[in-house]
Amino acid sequence: LARLAHHDPLTGLPNRALLTDRLQVAQAQAKRKGNALALLFMDLDGFKTINDKHGHKAGDKVLWLVAQRLSAIVRQTDTLARIGGDEFVLLLSDLDDNADDIAHTVAAKCLEAFAAPFSVGVADCPLGISIGIAIGSGLSTPDQLLQAADQAMYRVKKTGRSGSETIRV
């Protein structure tokens, strides 16, 4: 029951509730240690087209494949979560003075993971990803970090998609 309450049933990734808990812990540690953390808010570009053209079963397969590709990038201490629909969040904690560089390197790896199309049976479907990055310390709230990363992601979408932008909180 605990697994069902804290994980997305389709991808097996942590859900919003577990992400919130881990984000609160990461912020408390960042405040205590004087470290930084980064939150990457990711939204898929072109996912609606896959659902509309190939159906929800194909869309579900793509979401599962996205989770697999992104999971291959993250450290064991990071938290990759699916928070709804085609939105994923990656929490990078316990970062040093190079937090911006680390977040940008991880974002570049995420973008690179989408270079190859996603195979859904009879079709190969290209897909992009827009990434908003919020860099914070223990001084900001989880909601402030999520909101800042979400705003950065929407700015990426407005400028043409499949890229990343950073906000310091």
In the residue annotation, 86 being an active-site residue is answered as yes
Strands 164-168 and 128-136: parallel
The alpha carbon of residue 82 and the mean position of all alpha carbons in its chain are separated, in whole angstroms, by 7
Q: Supply the angle between the helices 56-71 and 47-54 in degrees, to the nearest 10.
A: 140
Token pair recorded at residue 61: 């397969």
CA–CA distance, 12 with 125 (Å, rounded to integer): 22
Catalytic residue, candidates 86, 96, 97, 143: 86
Task: List the catalytic residues.
Answer: 86
